[in-house]
Structure 1
Amino acid sequence: MHMDPALPLFLTILLFLLGISLVGVLSKQPVIIAYLITGITIGPAGFALISDPDMLARMGAVGVVLLLFFIGMEVSPTKIKSNLWLAGLGTFVQISLTVLIIVGIGKLFGWPLNRSILLGFVVALSSTAVILKLLEDWGELQSKTGQDVLAILLAQDIAVVPMVLIIGYLAGTSEGGNSHLLLQGTGAILLVCFAIYIVTRKKINLPFGDLIRRNHELQVLSALFICFGLALISGLFDLSTALGAFVGGMLIHATRDTNWVERSLMGFKVIFIALFFVSIGLLVDLTFFLDNAGTVLGLAFLALLLNTVLNTLILKLFKRSWEESLYGGALLAQIGEFSFVLGELGFKSGVITSYGHQLITLIIACTLLVSPGWIILCKKFCTKHLTPLDERQALIERERQYAAQNAEEGENLPPPPVSTNETKY
């Protein structure tokens, strides 16, 4: 009797889903943190239920492309323009100061300059996926602090494009020499120009847009075509495919067709966000962690503290109260998903060794795991002085946005469900 060759795959999927459910319920952690813990548990560091390195790499590659496509769909030109100085100048100052501080620390330990700059970029980026989820769960996305944090997150995501180009230059013109840098530079310029075009246009019409809106299958296929098409183009210029997917998400948002994309791809969104964060957990090497626990935990704490302090001071500089500034700084304290992309790029280009790559992966994972507790601690300290968005105000805002989308698309959709879930923390 021959075993069905698909059975191991089905077992993997079953363990994947069961692990996420059990960890989420038993630990009462945010779902994204549950994904990380699940990856560590079922991966080589845990029970080794998934140990194929090629499978891990493919899962992570697809997961990050889809994740950043959905994050790109959150980039609203209106939100960026409403906080333009904070998003632009504030984020530039925050990234610059972070890089300067890390370079200074690197000089003390004798790190090469290119490695220090890469680490500065890695530490400077916060997690859009994690913070958007937390703010949505807490009903604070439309609050003043929520909008400030969102503007900074979106500006950081856009800043990744020049970061990738700088890392390519720091790699020392590897195999292709100057032609390699020219290819990357051309691709980065084209991506930046296209992103600026998207942000500055009031609306972009997709070819056959009316037909797509009326056909569910075409909605799914056209959105994925844009996602993977721009990812492929980005890859052809030797840039991260995730960058192309991110710009693809921006394009979908600019068409003002985000509503049907969200409805059509919600299942994909849940699966691939889970896939990305589980794949990160799968890459964690517990033996490496135990051998370097002091270094990993020390640098993770330094990153949390540095991001909190710098973002708090920048928000205060833009005339927010100390309580709002501290809470916003805590929300931006962890290291984000784009940092995994930069770490992988730095490893492949030779800026960091496999030791440095594993160290970066563990530091990011640690900051993501402890971030909810850190945010709650700072929030409790500030809570008496914050002016959170009233639940009724949040409901009115959601209904207003939904009515605007409904009228814009000419659809007669049922009203959005009102979440009655309490905080998971």
Structure 2
Amino acid sequence: MNGTRVEEQHALPYLRETLLFLALAGIFIPLLQRLRVNQVLGFLAVGALFGPFGFGLWAPSQPWLGHFTFMRVEQVSGLAELGVMFLMFMIGLELSTERLWSLRRWVFGAGVAQVGICATLLGGLGYLFGLSLEAAIVLGCVLSLSSTAVVMQLLNERRALHTPAGQAAFSILMLQDLAVVPLFILIGVLAGGDSAGLGYLLGFTLLKSAGAIVLIYLLGRRVIRPLFQFFVKQRQPDVFMALTLLSTLGIAGLTAAAGLSMALGALLAGLLLAETEFRHEVEVTIEPFKGLLMGLFFMSVGMQIDVRDIVRQPLLIPLAVLTLFAIKTAVIGTIFRIGGFHWGRALESGVLLGQGGEFAFIVVAYALSTKLIAAPVAQFLMLVVGLSLFATPALAKAGIAFGNWWERRHRQQVGDLDGDAAAPAGSRIIIAGFGRIGQMVAKILQEQGVPYVAVENDARLVTRLHPRGFPVYFGDASRAELLHKVHADQAAAVVLTMDHPASVLHAVKSIRRECPHLPVYARARDEKHAAALMHAGATLVVPEALESGLQLSATVLQRLGFDEARAFELVNDERELRNAGLRGEAQL
């Protein structure tokens, strides 16, 4: 009889913890949001309050509190890791291999520089304070990493992931995630006392990791689309959800078997599905689970914050958190400034990436198990990282305010948008993107006496052209505030000429939301991109590949003896046919 009772009790592990979490997510968190408390901050606070160092401290003397307390972090850590995985999966869905390749300068240039410089400075500081060389190396490497979960959540809330600064921040986060693998190898070598073969081991591990990623990606491309096409013909939602989970967890399991992080595998799964026709349905299917599991992750971080340690060291720990933010902000801000951002946005991005990362809890636990660092040092590190995560939303908000203030204070360097409102309503064209194509459009408009104003997100280009008299200003055309600054509601039309397809799509959606009747003429990479822009609300789209093909066709026809008028007519008929097809796809 007792055996049966025990089996029934454990038939669903962590049932009480699951019910408590759902109650907090469904009732308590919405109350915090009504008080304008950031969602990340709310989950961290709830974790600290309902964790073992919150109400759990009184649970032994007040047994009834035990029903409303998470007594052990490991009770939710497994589900919390799923939250990080699904966040990375959603990021992968919003990207493409083409965009990842376009970000390679930031990933392998800025990312490597950030990790290397921050690890050196922070590790050197730890060594000066009396840590052993091995412990100082671990401290520096751990604190050089930022939180993908927190930063991506904040970028998504602000709809800033597709901005230039958001893409640069994401690139650095990607390199940090990749750096976790050699970091584990480094800790193993340092713990074993074998530093002679350190370079060989790290190089071999990186080569093996890169090979595993390429192999998984190439195999996945041959499996994912046919798998979905075969099984979703009957349009059963449960089958679709099962395939989505199978793809995510299956590829994550493959990367784990290859010695890489499961979060990286989830990112690969998202990238693979982003290239299929099932992308948007997958996003809708996963979104609710991702939000809940991410909340569980932040709660698990909050549970590890022991307020008593802060009381015991009221100056040292807050000072350590501020020092961490100061060093990383200075380093990352300088890297962003070198990369072309003005100081306001560069330091704003530095603050956003200034916290410790979620992988720190895993790495520190591993270093502690190998006796590479002492227990007090491990506890100190986890507390600093936890508090830095807790402080990030408020500091990031302050960073945004500083970036906006800097732009207002230095308008001569990035352009004074308020001073450029003299053109009559309905007579001016807005050009978003002032590269080769944007400048060509501007030249033709200027020759015909048509006023225009240009918006460009490359600060170096703006600071070079604006002093020469070009009406070009720094900014992101998808930001509602900037659209109001350039008086988009009074413009004759907006022309989008940016290079990055996702940036153009994001801008079309934002412009259509803020200015529903404003004509939007957009440059597209190809016909697939053009169809997406038309669906988002663009008035007219010009695919680069299509126009190049049409121009070449006209030249060939004339070379074969067709007169110029006939060649132009044939090419124009084909253009109209293709454009009609794009309009038809947009209406579906």
Give TM class, smaller chain: 0.7 to 0.9
Within 1, Cα distance between the matches of 2:362 and 2:93?
19
Distance 2:137 2:271 in 1: 27
Instruction: Tell me, yes or no, if structure 1 residue 40 matches structure 2 residue 40.
Output: no
46 and 24 in structure 1: CA distance in 2 versus 1, 3 angstrom threshold = farther
Q: Deviations over 1:309-342 (max 9, x none)?
A: 1011111112322222222222222223233333
- The alignment status of 1:19 with 2:28, answered yes or no, reads yes
**2:211 pairs with 1:193:** yes
Residue correspondence of structure 1 range 302-313 to structure 2 within 5 A: 302-313=323-334
> Residue 78 of structure 1: which of 81, 91, 98 is its match?
98
| Contact residue 312 and residue 328 of structure 1 kept, 8 A | yes
Contact 1:37 1:281 in 2 (8 A): yes
Output the CA distance in 2 between the equivalents of 1:266 and 1:396: 23
Residues 97 and 271 in structure 2, CA contact (< 8 A), matched pair in contact too: no
Write out aligned runs for 1:126-137 (5 A): 126-137=146-157
Change (3 A) 1:382 1:242: closer
Check the 8 A contact 2:147/2:356 in 1, yes or no: yes
Matched, 1:171 2:191: yes
Structure 1 residue 292: Cα displacement:
3.3
Aligned length: 403
- More displaced stretch, 64-73 vs 128-137: 64-73
Aligned-partner Cα distance in 1 for 2:238–2:291: 18
Q: Is the 8 A contact 2:209 2:258 kept in 1?
A: no
Pair 220,230 (structure 1): closer, same or farther in 2 beyond 3 Å: same
Please state how far the C-alpha of 1:137 moved relative to its aligned partner: 2.6
**How far did residue 347 of structure 1 move?**
3.1
Structure 1 CA distance for aligned equivalents of residues 394 and 267 of structure 2: 29
Q: Comparing 36-45 with 319-328, which one deviates more in the overlay?
A: 319-328
Give the structure 2 partner of residue 387 of structure 1.
475
Please report how far the alpha carbon of residue 89 of structure 1 lies from its aligned counterpart in structure 2 after TM superposition. Answer: 0.9
Aligned to 1:90: 110
TM-score (norm 2): 0.59
Aligned CA RMSD, in angstroms, stands at: 3.8
Question: 1:420 — aligned with what?
Answer: none
Q: How far is 1:277 from its partner?
A: 0.9
Q: Which amino acid aligns with 2:29?
A: I
Please tell me whether the aligned partners of residues 201 and 254 of structure 1 are also in contact (alpha carbons under 8 angstroms).
Answer: no
CA contact (8 A) 1:68 1:245 kept: yes
Alignment of 1:99-178 (within 5 A): 99-172=119-192
More strand by share: 2
Cα distance in 2 for residues equivalent to 1:136 and 1:233:
28
Structure-to-structure mapping, 1:51-70, within 5 angstroms = 51-70=71-90
Considering Cα pairs closer than 8 Å and 6+ residues apart, tell me whether 1 or 2 has the greater RCO.
1
Structure 2 gaps of 5+ residues are 57-68, 408-473, 484-503, 513-521, 523-528, 536-581
Change (3 A) 1:100 1:12: same
Change (3 A) 1:265 1:349: farther
Which residue is 2:430 aligned to?
A: none
**CA–CA distance in structure 2, aligned partners of residues 166 and 85 of structure 1:** 25
User: Could you tell me which amino acid in structure 1 is paired with residue 320 of structure 2?
Assistant: L
- Alignment pair present for 1:208 and 2:219: no
Q: Secondary structure at the match of 2:315?
A: helix
- What is the CA-CA distance between 1:117 and the residue it aligns to? 2.2
Q: Distance in 1 between matches of 2:272 and 2:363?
A: 23
Q: Which amino acid aligns with 1:356?
A: V
| 3-state SS in 2 of match to 1:304 | helix
Q: Name the amino acid aligned to 2:280.
A: N
Distance of aligned partners of 1:121 and 1:257 in 2 relative to their CA distance in 1, 3 Å threshold: farther
Structure 1 gap segments, 5+ residues each = 416-425
Q: CA deviation at 1:164?
A: 3.0
CA contact (8 A) 2:144 2:356 kept: yes
For 2:243, give the aligned amino acid. Answer: S
Partner of 2:352: 331
Aligned to 1:418: none
Q: 1:60/1:86 Cα in 2 relative to 1: closer, same or farther (>3 Å)?
A: closer
The residue identity in structure 2 corresponding to 1:95 is V
Matched, 1:278 2:302: no
Q: Which residue identity is paired with 1:320? A: F
- Give me the identity figure in percent: 25
User: 2:208 & 2:275 partners in 1: Cα distance?
Assistant: 18
Give the direction of change, closer, same or farther, for the CA distance of 1:348–1:149 in structure 2 (3 Å limit): same
Q: Is the 8 A contact 2:40 2:150 kept in 1?
A: yes
Give distance in 2, aligned partners of 1:265 and 1:343.
31
Deviates further, 274-283 or 11-20: 11-20
CA distance in 1, matches of 2:252, 2:266: 5
**Change in 2 beyond 3 A, CA 1:68/1:151:** closer
